[in-house]
Amino acid sequence: MRPNKIKQMWRDKKCVTLGWLSVANTFTAEVMARQGFDALCVDLQHGLSEMSDVGPMLAAISQTDTVPVVRVAWNDPPAIMKALDLGAYAVIVPLVNNAEEAAKAVAACRYPPVGMRSNGPVRAAHYGGSDYVAKANDEIVVMAMIETKEGLTNLDAICATPGLDAVYIGPADLSFALGLPPRGDNPDPLHMATCDKIRAAAHKAGIKCVMHCASASFAAGAVKRGFDMVMLTADVACMVAGARQQLEELKAKSA
């Protein structure tokens, strides 16, 4: 089976860079995949993509060595299994509140006898290799998002879930949970301390911790703080920033 670069980098104690796809477009996916990210996520929760977009977008990503990732919209086993069958090598599951929900997500990502994933890797076997079914349990990464009050209360139990590879911090919803206005790259001391608490709990349990960022500067700080993966930027953010920069430069130089 094609090895999962995310797991390889984690074994080498390297931080993984993750890009984000909010636009449902194969060309956007291909262009982003060629920029040098270690992994790239198709967002089904808040992005414009539907499940029907996932297969073609993962095929576009797969022209490179960028690891294909999908964030599902909910902790829904059929959706998780479908994303995996289409070739996702990692799944991000949002709004995980307790160990039972974390175990449910893990089970959907693992074939029996350790999980309940149904056998039918219609595209995944072509992408992953002929021995996909035999080795997928060891290569597929499953990440549970910690972003709710209940999730924080049950943090240690979630991190101890057998088979869970990582917890993923959703900063905006975590802000809600802390009584703060939602934002990315939140510098509030309570938010920063809570993120560090989540990272420490994950590492204590022997799993990884991921920080969702909105800028290179904040992501660099997260790397220095010991996070194992950072989401750096998204297709929409890059498009907006690039267009705004060019317009501002034009206005400045033509004034």
- Supply the residues annotated as catalytic: 46
Q: What Rg do the C-alpha atoms of the chain give, in angstroms?
A: 18
DSSP β-bridge partners for residue 144: 93, 167
Beta-carbon contacts of 148 under 8 Å, excluding residues fewer than 6 positions away, are 95, 97, 173, 177
Per DSSP, 149 falls in state H
Of 77, 96, 74, 224, the residue nearest 149 (C-alpha):
96
**Distance in angstroms (rounded) separating the CA atoms of residues 38 and 109:** 21
The two structure tokens encoding residue 135:
């080795």
